[in-house]
């Protein structure tokens, strides 16, 4: 891959936390690159540094060493060309669905009038066109997370960061959200870095899965997901899907037995 192909480059990244107990290296010498339009998942156990990595890429946390580049520019603070979807929707309860989607536009001091049509289009894309004037407490958990996805897309970022956005949903809703997110991604073709604990989720959604191990957090394996798109519910019953999930699960078990 050439530098020109890359939307995101992480080079020799280390993040060290300091406390009364001494320094703790949460992420150490981590490298990764994302191509334009690629959907890549980071998969790993709790505490391996996945969210720390995402926070550095988002410009919310400084690197201790190394560098992060988005569209060829170093990340030193939150950037307007990066959208973020958190674990919880974090919607403003006093604002309508449309009002919540428009929050980044106001934060960037852009004219809401210029983005009104895009807001309507995005609500249609996430299946919430009829709910523009509803309030968050009138929506299900899955619908609230779709609002947060539309909100992250409203300012047309080059890179989408998603930190376990479906972790709090029940199993059936979660699988439905995989299908909906895939449709949104196929329509928008944004570059996505997706954090998850779920092996089936990572395999279903991704072009590549990067596996992280801890102490310190680092990428230990890359798996190319060669399942054809678009993927459907039936994909989860296919032998190749089961084989990919099984290979990743076996690798995790092997590392656990080795004490790593």
Q: How far is CA 23 from the centre of its chain?
A: 28
Q: pTM for this one?
A: 0.92
Please give the Cα distance from 220 to 153 (Å, whole number).
Answer: 31
Q: How confident is the model at residue 234 (pLDDT cuts 50, 70, 90)?
A: very high
Average confidence (pLDDT) over 131-136: 97
Contact predicate 169/148, CB 8 Å: no
pLDDT number for residue 186: 93
Give yes or no for residue 99 having a pLDDT over 60: yes
Average confidence (pLDDT) over 142-167: 93
pLDDT number for residue 19: 81
DSSP alpha helices (H): ranges in the chain?
A: 50-57, 97-101, 103-107, 116-125, 141-153, 171-188, 199-205, 239-257
What is the phi/psi pair of residue 110, to 5°?
-100, 165
Say which residues have a Cβ less than 8 Å from residue 14's Cβ, sequence separation at least 6: 25, 27, 28, 29, 30, 63, 64, 65, 66, 216
Give yes or no for residue 222 having a pLDDT over 90: yes
Average confidence (pLDDT) over 62-78: 93
Please give the Cα distance from 242 to 221 (Å, whole number).
Answer: 18
The rounded mean pLDDT for the chain is: 91
Give yes or no for residue 200 having a pLDDT over 70: yes
> In the chain, how many H helices and how many E strands?
8, 10
- Percent of residues in the chain assigned helix, strand, coil, to nearest 5: 40, 25, 35
Q: How confident is the model at residue 170 (pLDDT cuts 50, 70, 90)?
A: confident
Average confidence (pLDDT) over 186-192: 92
Average confidence (pLDDT) over 105-111: 92
Q: How confident is the model at residue 258 (pLDDT cuts 50, 70, 90)?
A: low
Contact predicate 203/244, CB 8 Å: yes
Give yes or no for residue 2 having a pLDDT over 60: no
Q: How far is CA 53 from CA 14, 15, 19, 68, 140, in A?
A: 9, 8, 19, 10, 30
Q: How far is CA 168 from CA 3, 79, 86, 164, 197, in A?
A: 36, 27, 11, 9, 12
Whether omega before 5 lies within 30 degrees of 0, making that bond cis, reads: no
Please give the Cα distance from 196 to 46 (Å, whole number).
Answer: 10
pLDDT number for residue 4: 59
Q: How many residues does the chain have?
A: 260
Give yes or no for residue 257 having a pLDDT over 70: no
Tokens read off for 120: 């309507």
pLDDT number for residue 3: 57
Contact predicate 93/136, CB 8 Å: yes
What's the angle, vertex CA 68, arms to CA 66 and CA 72, rounded to 5? Answer: 130
The ranges assigned to domains in the chain are 91-156
């Amino acid at each position: 891959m050439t530098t020109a192909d890359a939307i995101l480059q992480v080079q020799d990244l280390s993040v060290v936390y300091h406390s009364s107990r001494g320094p703790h290296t949460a992420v150490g010498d981590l490298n990764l690159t994302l191509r334009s339009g690629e959907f890549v998942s980071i998969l790993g156990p709790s505490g391996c540094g996945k969210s720390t990595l995402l926070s550095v890429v988002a410009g919310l946390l400084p690197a201790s060493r190394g560098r992060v580049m988005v569209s060829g520019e170093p990340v030193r603070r939150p950037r307007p060309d990066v959208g973020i979807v958190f674990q919880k929707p974090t919607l403003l309860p006093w604002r309508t669905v449309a009002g919540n989607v428009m929050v980044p536009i106001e934060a960037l001091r852009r004219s809401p009038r210029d983005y009104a049509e895009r807001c309507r289009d995005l609500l249609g894309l996430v299946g919430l066109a009829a709910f523009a004037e509803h309030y968050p407490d009138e929506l299900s958990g899955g619908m609230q997370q779709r609002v947060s996805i539309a909100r992250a897309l409203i300012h047309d970022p080059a890179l989408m960061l998603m930190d376990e956005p479906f972790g709090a949903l029940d199993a059936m809703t979660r699988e439905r959200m995989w299908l909906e997110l895939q449709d949104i991604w196929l329509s928008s073709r944004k570059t996505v870095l997706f954090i998850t604990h779920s092996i089936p989720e990572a395999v279903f959604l991704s072009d590549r899965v990067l596996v992280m191990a801890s102490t310190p957090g680092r990428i230990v394996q890359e798996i190319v997901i060669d399942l054809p798109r678009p993927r459907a519910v039936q994909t989860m019953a296919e032998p190749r899907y089961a084989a990919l999930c099984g290979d990743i699960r076996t690798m995790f078990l092997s590392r656990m037995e080795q004490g790593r």
